[in-house]
């Protein structure tokens, strides 16, 4: 009952304010330590959230991180009469075989790439042209600004149509709305194609180059118009069904391709494989380590402030020894003395800590707004409610605990000794 009375006594709180105001410089410096530590902890935690968001935004251009791509390289070992250093290529038969025989593949497409000039009227743009199948859009996830991506009918009928990137569109037809570009014919390496869609890259991860700067053409059409293309495939990209991993099927792919193309089974250099999930996991682990480091640094800064609170409360108790002795002599209970000291510690910690959290949130909001992407939105430089409450509870507990030892010392002060203390 005495504890409750002390906590809700207005005179008690006025006394707390007066005590802390006796030495304004000391109180300010101690409060600043709490403020700075809390702010740093909140900033570092929210900053780690934002960095993770930026990572996810970079991978937002692909439908799933459980995907991969492969291309060929020169052989590094001789085999069956072939010398090492032989250059070889994937072909459409390889693509079809892997798509049908490798269990777990969800979407897949071969990609043939060429570079050249795209022309409309008197405007030119130099970039890449990619011959793909419709599954490419299910893997790379382009942001469609107008029209559509190439479809199965385009491939089945070898239509001369193209899906162009926004940078290509703006270079060839400046000032023209994307919707108004649909149906117009552009020249790509001397061959005319009808525009069926305009789009852009989402994020930074890409397969074979940024869509913004490329023209996408049905793969069968590209084989017909590109001299020397034949059934060659520059690289093969695919995504996996749930429950399957790229790393599990790559050995099967190697065995299948090596047996067909007479490549030494021990030759690990003949095929280049990109496993996006492994890359993502590696980067995620790095960011996890950075998050843990940030929390340690933030908590370290907060602990420095808490130690400061403990020191000032110790000094306050020493300065008030005579006063505490008089209180004890006129009947003040030890519990009321403890509550008084702990209340002073809690008030100082709470006010300074809340100010630190508020400023950190404002800074994070500013950074998040500045780093926002028009397509993918904000990165997430924010502090969630649960995280803010965790920081709040943490420094309130630590701040209160900082006053425990000084409070216990105050409780043990003997009235007669304190009264006689000079």
**320-376 per-position pLDDT tens digit:** 666 666 666 666 666 666 666 677 677 777 788 888 888 888 888 887 777 666 555
pLDDT score of 7 more than 60: no
Please, what is the average pLDDT of the chain?
Answer: 79
pLDDT mean over 295-317? 71
Q: Which of 319, 332, 321 is nearest to 9 (CA)?
A: 332
pLDDT score of 218 more than 90: yes
- Asked whether 406 and 314 are in contact (CB, 8 A), the reply is yes
* Digit-coded pLDDT (tens) for 235-251: 999 988 888 888 889 99
pLDDT score of 12 more than 70: no
The single residue listed with the structure tokens 């959230």 is 49
Burial of 218 (0-12, 13-18, 19+ CB in 10 A): buried
Identify any residues that bridge with 218 across adjacent strands, giving them in sequence order.
132
For residue 38, count other CB atoms closer than 10 A to its CB.
Answer: 29
pLDDT mean over 251-257? 92
The pLDDT score that the predictor gives to residue 2 is 44
Helix (H) or strand (E) holding 72: strand 67-72
CA 418 to chain centre: 59
Q: Which of 108, 128, 92 is nearest to 220 (CA)?
A: 92
Task: Give the whole-number percent of the chain exceeding pLDDT 70.
Answer: 72
d(CA 385, CA 351) in angstroms, rounded, equals: 18
CA 377 to chain centre: 12
- Asked whether 367 and 50 are in contact (CB, 8 A), the reply is yes
The pLDDT score that the predictor gives to residue 64 is 58
* Digit-coded pLDDT (tens) for 135-180: 998 888 888 999 999 999 999 999 999 999 999 999 999 999 999 9
Residue 382 — pLDDT band, cuts 50, 70, 90?
confident
Higher-pLDDT residue of 163, 34: 163
């Amino acid at each position: 009952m005495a504890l409750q009375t002390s906590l809700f006594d207005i005179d008690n709180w006025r006394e707390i304010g007066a005590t802390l105001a006796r030495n304004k410089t000391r109180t300010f410096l101690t409060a600043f330590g709490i403020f700075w530590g809390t702010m740093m902890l909140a900033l570092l935690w929210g900053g780690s959230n934002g960095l993770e968001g930026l990572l996810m935004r970079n991978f937002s251009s692909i439908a799933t991180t459980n995907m991969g791509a492969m291309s060929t390289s020169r052989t590094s070992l001789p085999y069956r009469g072939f010398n090492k250093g032989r250059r070889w290529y994937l072909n459409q038969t390889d693509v079809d075989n892997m798509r049908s025989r490798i269990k777990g593949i969800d979407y897949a497409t071969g990609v043939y790439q060429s570079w050249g000039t795209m022309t409309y009227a008197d405007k030119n743009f130099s970039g890449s042209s990619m011959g793909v199948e419709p599954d490419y859009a299910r893997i790379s996830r382009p942001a469609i600004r107008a029209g559509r991506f190439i479809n199965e009918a385009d491939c089945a009928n070898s239509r001369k149509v193209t899906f162009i990137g926004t940078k290509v569109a703006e270079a060839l037809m400046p000032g023209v709305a994307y919707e108004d570009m649909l149906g117009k014919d552009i020249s790509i390496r001397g061959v005319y194609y009808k525009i069926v869609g305009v789009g852009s890259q989402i994020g930074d991860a890409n397969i074979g180059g940024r869509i913004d700067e490329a023209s996408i053409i049905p793969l069968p059409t590209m084989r017909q118009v590109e001299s020397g293309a034949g059934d060659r495939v520059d690289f093969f990209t695919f995504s996996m069904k749930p429950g399957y991993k790229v790393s599990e099927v790559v050995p099967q792919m190697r065995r299948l391709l090596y047996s067909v193309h007479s490549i030494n089974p021990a030759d690990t250099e003949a095929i280049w494989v990109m496993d996006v999930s492994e890359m993502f996991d590696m980067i995620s682990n790095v960011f996890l380590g950075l998050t843990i480091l940030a929390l340690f640094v933030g908590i370290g800064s907060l602990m420095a402030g808490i130690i400061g609170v403990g020191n000032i409360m110790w000094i306050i108790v020493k300065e008030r020894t005579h006063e505490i002795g008089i209180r004890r002599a006129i009947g003040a209970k030890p519990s009321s003395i403890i509550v008084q000291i702990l209340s002073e510690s809690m008030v100082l910690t709470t006010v300074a800590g809340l100010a630190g959290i508020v400023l950190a949130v404002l800074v994070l909001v500013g950074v998040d707004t500045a780093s926002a992407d028009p397509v993918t939105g904000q990165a997430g430089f924010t502090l969630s409610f649960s995280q803010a409450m965790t920081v709040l509870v943490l420094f309130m507990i630590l701040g209160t605990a900082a006053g425990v030892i000084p409070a216990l010392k105050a409780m043990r002060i003997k009235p007669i000794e304190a009264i006689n203390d000079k």
